[in-house]
Structure 1
């Protein structure tokens, strides 16, 4: 669970945990040199010259600080509330996990003028009769004082042999990964030397990494192109309140407690002449290769700031827009944040989940980057102008490329014989502007043809209820005429091969009657799109139309007053009727629409299709796992869960709404 896997990746993660503990000490200002040695017998040694792990007794457990660190989860200083933190240590959960996954682990600590030592086998303290993990082992024992330490010496030496009963036979320590990690850390902690020695075969090979330039130097190192700007540093800090469970010493219960945290932001970035975007992100010098809230806040802030600054210039033409991809084109950046007890999505720490990081990083980046882009200093002003011109150029190139693709795709689609004859396509070649209405019933289709704007609104009729694809196989779904036609018309494929950029329409709109059958049809369509065209739903491009339920006809409308008033729910109908009566406005018996076909073209256009007056409901997926479960309950093969769902919700049902 803690290292992610038992292959090379997991083996390397164990090493990262031990190295990171030593780096934490350097970050705190203790020690400026870490030595890592890969030995020929399969062991790994990590040596630091920091304070050394505390050796005094921890009052709650009665164990030495060393034994607590290497045998207890969440006992280290990284976890804030533990008593070990009060003793001054900074080691966390990683040491105990590595110990449990090691056939042997030896630790020596120089502290308070003495050298202390202790050994473990698969997390159990004890004594080995000789060198190596195969020596006879006697369980039991505690931290021992071995000898006097050199005057002024302090630090920790850890040597461990990974347990080959746990890790796969082909798992091995990757020197290239280790070297890359050491180089990366030396950039993130200026003044820290990391010495890597590979003694696994023949003559030991040693390599030392030290970079005093910090993340500015790292940014230059990562950049794949010639520079358009100098490296810009964006730094700041802010506080936020986080609710965390705290253990009550008296009751032994956990209580939610508000804790004020400080988050420090340090970003180095520079734009280059190329087109690739390179971003490296870190939390407390831990790499987050899959990003997280800090990267989200950074990218949003860069885009927003560039757009705001461009609005104050004449570089953008009317109607032109800048997207995130335009603003980040050619950008190389290193995003680092530091905070106590960060929340990661998973113990392997690849994604930061702390919500406040997004807001604070965005705030810092916006303020600092705006100063650079609006600077009046000659050199910075010229560089900022180059950046803005590059962003505008990227925006125009994107639009031109997209227009060319859309024109060709539309041409190919229209010339092919695969599009169904029932499709009433639109004339526009702009995907962003075009809309596809999936219309229930032939009668509604006839009215919709007269009501639509054929410039950008396309219509596809379906006859009644389509196949429930939650129960059907892929083969059955593709054989179904209605489903196949919808997939063909959308034009982006289905399932794993679905290509969002190939979709022919910017909006997909379900238009069905405002009754229970219409709701069922919308549910079936939503199931089809969620299961086989999910990226459209994720992108927020799938909607349902909202047709009216009632129409009031004002008997004697005053000047400027609409003759017809529409309502979209029973509650709104009752409120509107009461309002008109109170105002003394006379109206004929309200009309109750049972279907779209009852409306004429003008009414359908005014209430449901005209973008100026209509209402649309966007179909979104806030929680993918919950959505999967909901679709399975409502539309899946298992009847019992659906029955339980209906029974549990029955008491909330208004009996008068049952269409029977």
Structure 2
């Protein structure tokens, strides 16, 4: 497969002593090269490299969109750890490759197994593309445990599969279609990749960016493991991006300032809109790549923005009363902006290669922004006046904030010389081992002070709810005693001039609040403070949320603390497996065998719940347990009819009410050269359509359900006898077995749901929440910067209507409502 070159002369053998001679020189090519040195191709084999695999596949679909041939992309993370990307582009070409050096190899194999073989090297197939190295999807193939491709092209459906880059069969026609596109599915190879769990938020952020940067392109990302889904489509491109960022804020001007221009081979597109907030949000891109660390295009934009606005304001005389000239930070207060540049030879630098380094870009961007923005301000005096007045307000606020800071400093509070009296500091002066617990209330604070490890754990009790910094200017923030106390304890200072995150006195800052509505509110206020005022502490991984137990379970006069509902389920299963027996046609189950079965049933129920978003879970369950529907069945209409009869019989036995308004139909599915089953059921008075076709029945989600059912089927046919206590219960399904043993396990248990930390004494608080050997901490990370900013603005900002819409939209998803 690899076409390794034959050397003209034999290589001299390498000496056994390890000498550096001719025999030590080897050349790696193809799959061997990529698998031996994956970091050279995808950056690393952990989080960055894992998600890079997805981006390489998606970028090919985006290139189809850039070329005008694709409008929809769907990314799905599956329950088995695999991922699929489907588009409606032209489909990867198939058929023998015309180049004789490939010896009649199918074009699809050339694309997927030959490095640097692609259509982005100047032959006109793509005018613009996300990358030019030509190794992307090939590397994904080489670094995948398995890799499958399904192509709709020229009226045919083609399939092909690989294992670690090796073709498993020939390219095969499997059906007919009038659609077109490519579906690629792959599972990262755990023998190469150190991390194989895809992060939904990380991928979602990238998909949103691509949708914004490619106007009109619809991208859907779905995570079947957690039932979460986002759909992105923005007809306005980066203008929609800016409007999206500002949607939970009050914009100063209705429409973002937008211009697109080109100079000396550099294409620049920029969108700007100021809001009444106090934070700047600027996102920069180069060739569709998110340059998180900025670079020369950002420097050029900032310089031009400050100079152009200052020049305009001086001419208009708006700032005559200002005592100081506005700074660049003043000009950017409340600014949301997106900068996108495209250039032929980008140079990236920085630790993550996301900082644009082309020196010529700064001057070009500065010139273009100067020209375009100056023209806009002259032609739109009303908008211009609002912007410069906002900048004037920011300057006055900065001066007032400096005075407020100096006033506070004169009182000796912020100078670090005297720590707050309510702070119970730790003995260690090494920040890397020191922890600060921010505890809600004096009662819990007292328990925490008594229960802590004084050597390295500091306690700062917070009284009541701190100021919402999302709605407050800086100078008002400094009038809040709780916030000033917090800033002083942290030791970082605050504000543009004084803030220094490297001076943090603790490298673990742990939010410890009650598990009720007030506790959640206080935690959110604290998160807002850190996100808006000290984001570097989050980026450095210093911020954590304590995870106190949700339940205390008392059994036989012994107490056990359980973190959450899943932990409670596990505990109940342990009791059930020790005290219950299940008699089946295949024998009697108890102990570890019974527990293994019950865990599978729990997983089965969770998976059904996730599928309920798109199909009636009752029907899926009936198909899995009451029939033997599979991909092969779809090719035989008579067999399929029998499966429908079995489905109805199962529902009649288990859920006869379901049949009241259930309709079934068997229809053609030419793409699979088979049939598909369409079932309509009554849900809440309306008909719900569920489609069971080749794609669904071959999906990892359905396959997992079928696999779990196989484990249940080995028990023999229901009913089963469940021996609990001194009696017996008859169960008609494995779900009823779970329900019976769980109900029995709860007998005699004392269950207390904790709401307040103050309900625990110092020893309990230490053992459950503060002891490093037994506690659980949740590290706060920003995986999706745009969504994080939106959530904080939505929940904590001034705008009421977006918040109401958010509550209404998510009302039915609420769990554990505390009223």
Against the structure 1 CA distance between its residues 84 and 271, is the aligned structure 2 distance closer, same or farther, given a 3 Å change threshold? closer
Decide whether the 8 Å contact of 1:219 with 1:270 is kept in 2.
Answer: yes
> What secondary structure, in the 3-state scheme, does the structure 1 residue paired with 2:383 have?
helix
Unaligned 5+ runs, structure 1: 129-142, 241-261, 418-495, 504-660
| Residue in 2 that maps onto 1:535 | none
Q: How far apart are the structure 2 equivalents of 1:86 and 1:276?
A: 38
Bigger radius of gyration, 1 or 2?
Answer: 1
Q: How many pairs were matched up? A: 380
Say which of 148, 161, 172 aligns to 1:106.
Answer: 148
Say which of 160, 172, 177 aligns to 2:197.
Answer: 172
Decide whether the 8 Å contact of 1:24 with 1:90 is kept in 2.
Answer: no
Say which of 216, 235, 242 aligns to 1:191.
Answer: 216
| Residue in 2 that maps onto 1:213 | 236
| Residue in 1 that maps onto 2:189 | 163
Q: How far apart are the structure 1 equivalents of 2:156 and 2:363?
A: 47
> What secondary structure, in the 3-state scheme, does the structure 2 residue paired with 1:106 have?
strand
Residue 59 (structure 1) aligned with residue 99 (structure 2): yes
> What secondary structure, in the 3-state scheme, does the structure 1 residue paired with 2:356 have?
coil
- Which structure: greater helix fraction? 2
Against the structure 1 CA distance between its residues 278 and 339, is the aligned structure 2 distance closer, same or farther, given a 3 Å change threshold? same
> What secondary structure, in the 3-state scheme, does the structure 1 residue paired with 2:349 have?
coil
Give runs of aligned pairs for residues 174-323 of structure 1, distance below 5 A. 174-200=199-225, 207-223=230-246, 225-240=249-264, 262-317=265-320, 320-323=324-327
Q: How far apart are the structure 2 equivalents of 1:85 and 1:191?
A: 18
Give runs of aligned pairs for residues 541-560 of structure 1, distance below 5 A. none
| Residue in 2 that maps onto 1:33 | 72
Decide whether the 8 Å contact of 1:237 with 1:360 is kept in 2.
Answer: no
Say which of 341, 347, 364 aligns to 1:343.
Answer: 347
- Residues 296-339 of structure 1: CA deviation (Å, up to 9, x unaligned): 22222211211121221223348732221011111011212233
Q: How far apart are the structure 1 equivalents of 2:349 and 2:116?
A: 17
| Residue in 1 that maps onto 2:166 | 125
| Residue in 1 that maps onto 2:388 | 388
Decide whether the 8 Å contact of 1:268 with 1:335 is kept in 2.
Answer: yes
> What secondary structure, in the 3-state scheme, does the structure 1 residue paired with 2:220 have?
strand
Q: TM-score, normalised by structure 1?
A: 0.51
Against the structure 1 CA distance between its residues 54 and 344, is the aligned structure 2 distance closer, same or farther, given a 3 Å change threshold? farther
Against the structure 1 CA distance between its residues 160 and 113, is the aligned structure 2 distance closer, same or farther, given a 3 Å change threshold? same
Against the structure 1 CA distance between its residues 205 and 331, is the aligned structure 2 distance closer, same or farther, given a 3 Å change threshold? closer
Q: How far apart are the structure 2 equivalents of 1:235 and 1:68?
A: 41
Q: TM-score, normalised by structure 2?
A: 0.41
| Residue in 2 that maps onto 1:18 | 57
- Residues 118-147 of structure 1: CA deviation (Å, up to 9, x unaligned): 33333x33216xxxxxxxxxxxxxx62535
- Residues 232-269 of structure 1: CA deviation (Å, up to 9, x unaligned): 343233243xxxxxxxxxxxxxxxxxxxxx33222111
Residue 332 (structure 1) aligned with residue 373 (structure 2): no
The offset of 1:218, in angstroms, is: 1.8
Against the structure 1 CA distance between its residues 287 and 183, is the aligned structure 2 distance closer, same or farther, given a 3 Å change threshold? same
Decide whether the 8 Å contact of 2:63 with 2:126 is kept in 1.
Answer: no
Against the structure 1 CA distance between its residues 88 and 148, is the aligned structure 2 distance closer, same or farther, given a 3 Å change threshold? farther
Deviating more after overlay: 156-165 vs 399-408: 399-408
| Residue in 1 that maps onto 2:677 | none
Q: How far apart are the structure 2 equivalents of 1:399 and 1:87?
A: 48
Against the structure 1 CA distance between its residues 24 and 88, is the aligned structure 2 distance closer, same or farther, given a 3 Å change threshold? closer
Against the structure 1 CA distance between its residues 166 and 82, is the aligned structure 2 distance closer, same or farther, given a 3 Å change threshold? farther
> What secondary structure, in the 3-state scheme, does the structure 1 residue paired with 2:313 have?
helix
Q: What RMSD over aligned residues (CA atoms) do the two structures have, in Å? A: 3.9
Decide whether the 8 Å contact of 2:78 with 2:225 is kept in 1.
Answer: yes
> What secondary structure, in the 3-state scheme, does the structure 2 residue paired with 1:279 have?
strand
- Residues 69-111 of structure 1: CA deviation (Å, up to 9, x unaligned): 3334444445x45898799998843212222221111223333
Q: How far apart are the structure 2 equivalents of 1:333 and 1:340?
A: 23
Q: How far apart are the structure 1 equivalents of 2:209 and 2:129?
A: 27
Q: How far apart are the structure 2 equivalents of 1:416 and 1:330?
A: 30
Decide whether the 8 Å contact of 2:66 with 2:128 is kept in 1.
Answer: no
The offset of 1:163, in angstroms, is: 0.8
| Residue in 2 that maps onto 1:576 | none
**Whose RCO is larger (CA < 8 A, sep 6+)?**
2
Against the structure 1 CA distance between its residues 185 and 198, is the aligned structure 2 distance closer, same or farther, given a 3 Å change threshold? same
Decide whether the 8 Å contact of 1:231 with 1:268 is kept in 2.
Answer: no
- Residues 10-38 of structure 1: CA deviation (Å, up to 9, x unaligned): 32232122112211211221111112222
The offset of 1:275, in angstroms, is: 0.8
Unaligned 5+ runs, structure 2: 1-38, 418-490, 500-819
